[in-house]
Amino acid sequence: MKKQPTVILAVAAALSGALLGGCEAPDVSTWISGSGGQSTTAPEGQATGEETTIPEAPSIDWNAIPETFVLAPGSEKALPHGEGVTYHISAPDVATVSPDGKLAISEHAAIGSKAEVTVEYQGQTKTAQITVKSSLSETIMMVNSVPTVTNPTDLAVVVNKQRSLPVDYIPPGLTEPNVPFPFSGKAEKKLLREPAARALESLFAAAEKDGIQLYGVSGYRSYRTQKSLFDGYVKTQGAEHAARYSANPGKSEHQTGLAMDVSGADSRTRLEEPFADTPEGKWLAAHCAEHGFIIRYPKGKEEITGYAYEPWHLRYVGTTMAKEIMEKGITLEEYFQDAVAVQSQS
């Protein structure tokens, strides 16, 4: 390495002075290692001379970005941010991300809707999937000492023995689907809410293409109708049987306008468990999710749903939710188990 002339002269002068004056010669290395004739002493373990330590580039905590988020409508989540960090959302109608990394779920995002957020920094990327869910604890309130749902019109509303509909609730947009019924004439139980009615038509049409004949049996029931039905079960078959196979008024999914009991051509299996083993029952279990329906009361889940296995009872929730629920073999209640209350999200 070529030395500066001033450094060489300084070294020569120092040696000459030491020889003539009898003083101790200085450590030459302290001069050679200096810059511009100045001496520097590097801390132990560090390189000396002309080597330069390059500071590490700033980084972000990639571990702070999980593979999945479960967030409620209207909630927010802080993502790692800094200069040079960029974000991309696959579904802006579901969620947005601000330049400072604030992930915000739309208040109007449908339960069960999904989006992907991608974080990019210095050539690295990480993508997380967002699923929109509300905590069940946030969609219920006490009304006259009765736990009552606050989202009765939501297509993902959970109604069961612990979660009642408002007593006076009538679903919006009730209509009669264009599907066959084993009875004629106008009837309340032919009705469904518009989205469920259109989906049922699609389901029945797909079944017919596969050589399967399905019939609608019982859809919407008003509070009054459910009360009459339940009281009749209690009177004829006892309270225990009624509680196992029928719902108390206000706690029936049929009042949501999103449920339909269906059957095949054989009346002997109509609303009976052996329906599951018929060609119609097997086809229904395999294909209902493709049209947004689930088997609401699956086998082996009685302790969770509160009801016996009903392979004929379809509940509309939309295709995204339905496919996940049916693929995982879970109930509607279990689908919401990983949902977090908004106040505990950050």
Which domains can be identified in the chain, with CATH numbers? 1-54 (no CATH), 62-132 (2.60.40.1080), 136-342 (3.30.1380.10)
CA 327, 329, 331, 336 torsion-angle sign = negative
- DSSP E strands in 17-113: the ranges are 68-71, 76-78, 86-89, 95-97, 102-105
Buried b (16+ CB within 10 A) or exposed e, 285-314: eebbbebbbbbbbbeebeebbbbebbbbbb
Q: What are phi and psi of 121, to 5 degrees?
A: -155, 125
Characterize the bridge pairing of strands 192-193 and 86-89.
Answer: unpaired
Q: Exposed, middle or buried: residue 154 (CB in 10 Å: 0-12, 13-18, 19+)?
A: middle
Cα distance between residue 224 and residue 221, in whole Å:
8
Tokens of residue 116, six digits: 């992907």
The confidence score (pLDDT) of residue 51 equals 54
pTM for the whole thing?
0.80
Q: What three-state secondary structure class fits 124?
A: strand
CA 171, 176, 178, 181 torsion-angle sign = positive
The confidence score (pLDDT) of residue 343 equals 52
Instruction: State the DSSP H helix or E strand holding residue 208, giving kind and residue range, or none if neither.
Output: helix 194-209
Q: Are 265 and 171 in contact (CB under 8 A)?
A: no
Structure letter (DSSP) for residue 109: P
The confidence score (pLDDT) of residue 240 equals 87
Cα distance between residue 289 and residue 286, in whole Å:
8
Averages of pLDDT over runs of 10 residues in the chain (346 residues) are 45 44 44 42 49 60 92 95 94 96 96 96 96 96 97 98 95 98 96 99 99 98 93 91 86 98 95 97 98 98 95 98 98 94 55
Q: At what angle do helices 279-287 and 194-209 cross, to 10 degrees?
A: 120
Q: What three-state secondary structure class fits 247?
A: coil
- C-alpha distances (whole Å) from 210 to each of 73, 321, 328 are 39, 24, 25
Q: Are 130 and 117 in contact (CB under 8 A)?
A: yes
Tokens of residue 327, six digits: 């693929």
Cα distance between residue 99 and residue 107, in whole Å:
20
The confidence score (pLDDT) of residue 335 equals 98
Residue type, 161: K
The confidence score (pLDDT) of residue 56 equals 52
Structure letter (DSSP) for residue 163: B
Which entry of 50, 120, 273, 310 is annotated as an active-site residue? 310
Cα distance between residue 302 and residue 309, in whole Å:
7
- DSSP E strands in 53-110: the ranges are 68-71, 76-78, 86-89, 95-97, 102-105
The confidence score (pLDDT) of residue 30 equals 38
**67: annotated active-site residue:** no
Cα distance between residue 184 and residue 216, in whole Å:
11
Tokens of residue 91, six digits: 């579904």
284: left (phi over 0), alpha (psi -120 to 50) or beta: alpha
Short-list 328, 318, 329, 331, CA closest to 132:
318
